[in-house]
Amino acid sequence: MGQYTKTYSRSFHPEETLVLTWDSGYKNICIYDNTRLIHSWDQPTGFLKGVQIEDERLGTIKIKFTDTRPLQLELKVRGKKYKPNRDGKQENDISGIISVFWAMAALTGVILLWFLGNLLVYDMNEVIQTIIIVLTLIVAIYLATAILLLKKHYWGYFIGTGYLILSTIYYTWNSLTFEGFWMVTVVCFFRFLLIIYLLMSARKVLFAISSKTSKSDDTGLIDERF
């Protein structure tokens, strides 16, 4: 009968960890705070709906199976979700942030291609040349940000986000005297939504940076593979 161990960490607080152990078939489930046994269950009965225990030090602990397959145990302490670690480190998903910059690069690229495709109509005057150069630089900024984040160079986040914030402020300020005020307002509104999302996701990036630079001790329990 195989035995499995998985370490769970509180989101963005990797120092707060709990350990779950179980036998094949999710029997003999035990939860530990460091080496202190908090509770144990002989059978997995009740874990589909979720079980709740009270601990003097940690407070309310809830454990249940996830709603999707393969079944995995989900853990919350005082309402805070603890995530299973992978390879001794807490998983940190920034795919949403990367997707934002891919989308911004693609959208700007479409606009750039439209201008390039209509060069014969507009002629290659200085204004069009400037627009094409600016759009090319914007595409480069968003692409560089997405690629840097994909390669785990997390400081790239500040390049793309910084440019998006500054350019949105610039566009908003200039839209006050622009004839197509309503159109620019709609564009800036969506930009503000993206900025809010990116700022709310900033702690994911900061956590990723701190996790990458910290020298953590990976000699503890080895997690079961998903």
Is the Cα dihedral 189, 194, 195, 197 positive or negative?
A: positive
Please report, for residues 10, 57, 104, 193, the alpha-carbon distance to residue 213 in angstroms, rounded to integers and kept in the order given.
19, 31, 29, 31
Rg (CA), the chain: 25
Distance of alpha carbon 220 from alpha carbon 226, whole angstroms: 18
Looking up tokens 């610039």 gives 170
Are the C-beta atoms of residues 184 and 175 closer than 8 Å to each other?
yes
Locate the domains of the chain by residue range.
3-91, 95-209
State pTM to two decimals: 0.58
**pLDDT at 91 (0 to 100):** 54
Confirm or reject CATH 2.40.128 for domain 3-91, answering yes or no.
yes
What pLDDT does 86 receive?
Answer: 64
The half-sphere exposure of 85 on its side-chain side, counting CA atoms within 13 A, is 26
pLDDT for 157 equals 95
Yes or no: say if 21 and 39 are a contact pair by the CB < 8 Å rule.
no
pLDDT tens over the chain, length 226 residues: 457 888 888 876 766 789 988 888 888 889 998 888 999 998 888 888 889 999 988 899 999 888 877 778 889 998 888 888 765 455 567 889 999 999 999 999 998 888 887 766 666 677 778 888 899 999 999 999 999 999 989 999 999 999 999 998 888 777 766 555 566 677 778 889 999 999 998 888 887 787 666 544 443 333 343 3
pLDDT at residue 97, rounded to an integer: 93
